[in-house]
Amino acid sequence: MPRAAAGAPVRHVAKETIRSVRPGEVAILAAGDYGELVVARDGEPGRPIVIRADRSHTVIGSTFDGISLRNCRHVILEGVTVYGSVDLLGAEEVAVRHSTVSAKYGIIAKEPPGCTNCYIADNVVTY
């Protein structure tokens, strides 16, 4: 199972700063609506970028209209709520877990080119 790097620095981020996360960092998301997120930066082998919802928000969490991890490498997405699809086409070594996805197409990982060595587990996907 993919994990954050040992001793990875943890940063609390908001909508305005989420795109500044660097390889090896764990980004803890402030509660709020993040809109559409396109992850444009890759992690590195052994130093993934981890985007994680702050589990202390019990009523209002971190929500997205959609997330694109298309062609990304070494990224872990954990515990977010997505009211649109999560796109993994072309992704490698990416994980999506403990998230809730509500969309017609859910988590898109099968259509060519598909994704390689991706871990998708413990999610709730509804239509």
For residue 116, which of 85, 94, 87 has the smallest C-alpha distance? 94
**Where residue 113 falls among pLDDT bands split at 50, 70, 90?**
confident
Q: Identity (one letter) of the amino acid at 24?
A: G
Residue 100 has pLDDT above 90, yes or no: yes
Per-residue model confidence as pLDDT tens digits over 30-75: 989 999 999 999 999 999 999 999 877 555 678 999 999 999 999 9
Cβ contact 50:27 at 8 Å: yes
Per-residue model confidence as pLDDT tens digits over 76-97: 999 999 999 999 999 999 999 9
Handedness of CA 25, 106, 72, 18 (dihedral sign): negative
Alpha-carbon distance of 36 to 14, in angstroms, equals 14
